[in-house]
Amino acid sequence: MSLPKHNSSKQLWRNLVDTPAVLVDLNVVERNIARCQKRCEQLGFTVRPHIKTHKIPLLAQAQLDAGAMGITCQKLGEAEVMVEAGIDDILISYNIIGAAKLARLKALTEKARIIVCADSGYVVAGLSHAFADAKKPLEVMVECDTGMNRCGVTTAAEAANLAQEIFRAPGLTFSGLMTYPAADQGNEAITWLGQAKEACQKAGLDVPVISSGGTPDLFKLTANDIITEYRPGSYIYNDRSLVSSGAVTEDDCALSVLTTVVSRPTKDRAAIDAGSKSLTSDTFGHADFGTVLGHPNIQLASLSEEHGHLKSKSTAGLGQIKVGDTLRILPNHACVVSNLFDHITFVRGDYFVKHQTVAARGAVK
Ligand SMILES: Cc1ncc(COP(=O)(O)O)c(C=O)c1O
């Protein structure tokens, strides 16, 4: 794997990082990539990791070096950053709409293999209009809603109809089915996708790729001959929501937010310098905003923009915590934290590796 090591002078990150800061432990990242790649290989899936979690070409390259056959991006802007960094096989798992984006998409397909998704005739018509005169047809997958209630056609028959529409559309080629199942519904999605595959085949279409995704379900999935490709995203960092779901342990979490205690107004309260602008206010089903690592009695009870508010979970109070102390917070949802910082810090255990630009941060168009 191509990830940097700490340098021979073995500097401690504690002496080099100002807060609030995102720390990412590359030892854990490497373990997570290897574990997930192996699991997908055991299940017979090719791996197309979703880079929305990290937004960093260097980490995408590490995923490819470990055996991934390409990457997934959610937004065209993320894909542009990844292509610029030399990555040449990308699925954009999103409906691309409007002349401005279609022109950017077309320019991108001249530099790399780009596959996109569609869940309506409207999206297909826009793609076809833009690509009718393209040198090579655009690969388009049908997005299927197997229970997430986000985007996607909602029945197998609709999937087959849209697949035929793509097949017939000038400038496009039908390249398969894509779903992002709701958590805990990965196995149910297999039945849905099997029916959609059969409906497509009855209509005379090949279904070269059936792509599913999601970290929490990867280790619960049963072996099957429907899914061909898997798109895990959060697994590279993991986060509190995945710990709470039982999918991983705190030791599997690579990303934490380092913060300083800036105020200790009463025995029961403290304020830290990480608020919603550093942690996001995403609770992801929790009652509070992250785990204060190593302090099971302390709750990150609420956030204002630049302050996090710590409270004691018991009558014991906050104990010895004092102004100037640093704490590490395991955020509820790592992917959104990645979008908040221009730079993060790579570490290996206690050692500093490098400050790292988050190249696709803010690439939401
Ligand atoms: C379309 C799609 N595929 C894959 C993923 C990765 O899921 P996870 O982060 O659970 O691994 C996501 C995450 O939001 C997604 O939206």
pLDDT digits (tens, 9 = 90+) for 52-105: 999 999 999 999 999 999 999 999 999 999 999 999 999 999 999 999 999 999
Clarify whether residues 144 and 293 are in a common domain: no
For atom 16 of ligand 1, the residue with the nearest CA is 180
For atom 7 of ligand 1, the residue with the nearest CA is 214
Residue 18 lies in a domain: no
Clarify whether residues 175 and 215 are in a common domain: yes
Residue 276 lies in a domain: yes
Return the residue matching tokens 């998704």.
Answer: 117
Clarify whether residues 94 and 229 are in a common domain: yes
Compute the mean pLDDT over every residue in the chain, rounded to the nearest whole number. 96
Q: Ligand 1: which of 143, 145, 234, 245 to mutate, most ligand atoms within 8 Å of CB?
A: 234
Q: For ligand 1, what atom is nearest to the CA of residue 335?
A: 9
Write the CATH number for 62.
Answer: 3.20.20.10
Clarify whether residues 96 and 166 are in a common domain: yes
Distance 94 CA to ligand 1 centre (A): 11
- What's the structural domain count of the chain? 2
Clarify whether residues 122 and 232 are in a common domain: yes
Q: Is the model's pLDDT at 9 over the cut of 90?
A: no
**Which pLDDT score, from 0 to 100, does residue 70 have?**
98
178 bridge partner residues: 143, 211
| Domain final residue, candidates 182, 211, 236 | 236
Q: For ligand 1, what atom is nearest to the CA of residue 234?
A: 9
Clarify whether residues 206 and 165 are in a common domain: yes
Distance 52 CA to ligand 1 centre (A): 8
Q: Which residues, in sequence order, are CB contacts of 296 under 8 Å at separation 6+?
A: 313
Q: For ligand 1, what atom is nearest to the CA of residue 231?
A: 4
Clarify whether residues 214 and 184 are in a common domain: yes
Write the CATH number for 285.
Answer: 2.40.37.20
Distance 301 CA to ligand 1 centre (A): 28
Measured N-to-C along each axis, helices 156-168 and 121-131 cross at an angle, to the nearest 10 degrees, of 20
User: Apex CA 178: angle with CA 72 and CA 116, to 5°?
Assistant: 55
pLDDT digits (tens, 9 = 90+) for 40-53: 999 999 999 999 99
Place 191 in a pLDDT band, splitting at 50, 70 and 90: very high
Q: Are strands 71-73 and 46-47 parallel, antiparallel or unpaired?
A: unpaired
Q: Ligand 1: which of 37, 40, 48, 50 to mutate, most ligand atoms within 8 Å of CB?
A: 50
pLDDT digits (tens, 9 = 90+) for 110-155: 999 999 999 999 999 999 999 999 999 999 999 999 999 999 999 9
Residues with a CB atom less than 6 Å from ligand 1: 50, 53, 72, 74, 93, 180, 213-216, 231-235
Distance 216 CA to ligand 1 centre (A): 10
Clarify whether residues 170 and 115 are in a common domain: yes
Residue 224 lies in a domain: yes
Q: Is the model's pLDDT at 184 over the cut of 60?
A: yes
Distance 180 CA to ligand 1 centre (A): 6
Q: For ligand 1, what atom is nearest to the CA of residue 218?
A: 11
Place 244 in a pLDDT band, splitting at 50, 70 and 90: very high
Compute the residue count for the chain: 365
Note down the domain range covering 33: 28-236
Q: Which residues, in sequence order, are CB contacts of 89 under 8 Å at separation 6+?
A: 69, 70, 71, 112, 113
pLDDT digits (tens, 9 = 90+) for 289-320: 999 999 999 999 999 999 999 999 887 778 88
**Which pLDDT score, from 0 to 100, does residue 289 have?**
97
Q: For ligand 1, what atom is nearest to the CA of residue 94?
A: 1
Residue 245 lies in a domain: no
Distance 27 CA to ligand 1 centre (A): 23
Residue 241 lies in a domain: no
Name the H helices within the chain: 26-43, 57-65, 76-84, 99-109, 121-131, 156-168, 186-202, 215-218, 240-244, 276-279, 334-338
Distance, in Å, from the CA atom of 204 to the CA atom of 25, rounded to the nearest integer, reads 49
Q: Which residues, in sequence order, are CB contacts of 28 under 8 Å at separation 6+?
A: 251, 252, 253, 254
Distance 293 CA to ligand 1 centre (A): 26
Distance 66 CA to ligand 1 centre (A): 19
Distance, in Å, from the CA atom of 328 to the CA atom of 228, rounded to the nearest integer, reads 39
Clarify whether residues 186 and 284 are in a common domain: no
Q: Is the model's pLDDT at 216 over the cut of 60?
A: yes
**Which pLDDT score, from 0 to 100, does residue 315 have?**
79
Distance, in Å, from the CA atom of 55 to the CA atom of 85, rounded to the nearest integer, reads 12
Query: 269-298 burial, b for 16+ CB within 10 Å, e for fewer?
Result: ebbbbbbbebbbebebeeebbbbbeebeeb
**Which pLDDT score, from 0 to 100, does residue 357 have?**
98
Clarify whether residues 325 and 212 are in a common domain: no
Q: Is the model's pLDDT at 1 over the cut of 60?
A: no
Place 356 in a pLDDT band, splitting at 50, 70 and 90: very high
